[in-house]
Structure 1
Amino acid sequence: MSELNREQAWNLLTEYNQDQFHLYHAKVVEGIMKYFARELGYGAEEEFWGLVGLLHDLDFEKYPEEHCIREQQILKDFGAPEALIHAVASHGYGITVDIKPEHEMEKVLFATDELSGLIGAVALMRPSKSVQDLELKSVKKKYKSKGFATGCSREVIERGAEMLGWELDDLISRTILAMREIEPQLSNS
């Protein structure tokens, strides 16, 4: 489905992003997307879903004011498939672009991008600094705290859950499971 491989995608990402936080976030969302591809019955598209997750914030570090706009041209110039360009841009729907998430993959990206940051922030507050022992109730408690992880939009997370037709608790729980699965690989990279 994609003419772009993981190594090419990583090289492109690191051309536009050097901040370790942004690169780590890209790998987190890549892993979450691959997890959901398998969980939702799109296993044959797992690598494509992963590339979408990896590249979703391609333009954010260099062009924060044009996020989800500039990356479309960068990807087009790179020869990325239209499906990938649409998917990465759609996570800015209603924020920076009017490209609506249509495919279930795009809705998962929209719903989990901000949420992964919030879950990661909750995990860092724990003695273990890990999602392995993180439970839904801990995330919900911090989720309700307006002063916690203010950069993670609760509105976007809730709109994402609604797009998927999932309860918020279900989205949070499933995203925690995804992050538990990928955490060991991330700590080694």
Structure 2
Amino acid sequence: GYGDEADFWATVGLLHDIDFEMWPEQHCLKAPELLQKAGCSPEFIHAVCSHGYGLCCDVEPTHQMEKVLFAADELTGLIGAAARMRPSKSVMDMEVSSLKKKYKDKKFAAGCSRDVINTGAERLGWTVEELMEKTILAMRSCEESVNREMETLA
């Protein structure tokens, strides 16, 4: 883990789409202004914006966790879509081999960029299969609490 940095990265994860809902056409471009006004550090702003590298901004992910967010942001969308298609509606029983079939079908979750997923894995020094496995395991670890939170919002 990242020890003392855990709260920093958890907050980056929570706020990485801070500008997306109100300004989707300015995603990762409006975020610096919002985060500066909130008193966030330049490092934090860089971490938040770097997940949009090559898609909507030119802030390159350099830290390992920035690379993880860059790679996982698109992949979690694909995994979420694949999970909703499963009888269990869950990642708990999802295997990489099943996800790879969905990944190869360019029409499935077409909004999830395979190029970004591939580039993200490459930047991390992982295979796409390793990235898929690590992301599925991470999503399994929090699926129950996310589902509980979503129920309270419904």
After superposition, residues 82-97 of structure 1 pair within 5 angstroms as 82-97=42-57
Aligned equivalent of 2:138: 178
Superposition deviation, residue 77 in structure 1:
0.8
Once residues 131 and 93 of structure 1 are traced to their aligned partners in structure 2, the CA distance between those partners, rounded to angstroms, is 27
Superposition deviation, residue 97 in structure 1:
1.2
Q: Is 1:134 the equivalent of 2:94?
A: yes
Once residues 143 and 87 of structure 2 are traced to their aligned partners in structure 1, the CA distance between those partners, rounded to angstroms, is 16
Once residues 181 and 89 of structure 1 are traced to their aligned partners in structure 2, the CA distance between those partners, rounded to angstroms, is 25
Once residues 126 and 97 of structure 1 are traced to their aligned partners in structure 2, the CA distance between those partners, rounded to angstroms, is 34
Superposition deviation, residue 109 in structure 1:
0.4
2:32 to 43, 47, 72: 72
Once residues 95 and 68 of structure 2 are traced to their aligned partners in structure 1, the CA distance between those partners, rounded to angstroms, is 20
Once residues 185 and 45 of structure 1 are traced to their aligned partners in structure 2, the CA distance between those partners, rounded to angstroms, is 22
Counting matched residue pairs gives 149
2:63 to 91, 103, 125: 103
Aligned equivalent of 1:58: 18
Superposition deviation, residue 43 in structure 1:
2.6
Letter in 2 for 1:70: K
After superposition, residues 5-20 of structure 1 pair within 5 angstroms as none
Once residues 171 and 44 of structure 1 are traced to their aligned partners in structure 2, the CA distance between those partners, rounded to angstroms, is 24
TM-score using structure 2 length = 0.94
Superposition deviation, residue 82 in structure 1:
1.3
* 5+ residue gaps, structure 2: 150-154
- Determine helix, strand or coil for the equivalent of 1:185: helix
* 5+ residue gaps, structure 1: 1-37
Once residues 121 and 46 of structure 1 are traced to their aligned partners in structure 2, the CA distance between those partners, rounded to angstroms, is 28
Letter in 1 for 2:40: A
Over 3 Å off, 4+ runs: none
Once residues 179 and 103 of structure 1 are traced to their aligned partners in structure 2, the CA distance between those partners, rounded to angstroms, is 21
TM-score using structure 1 length = 0.77
Percent identity of equivalent pairs: 58
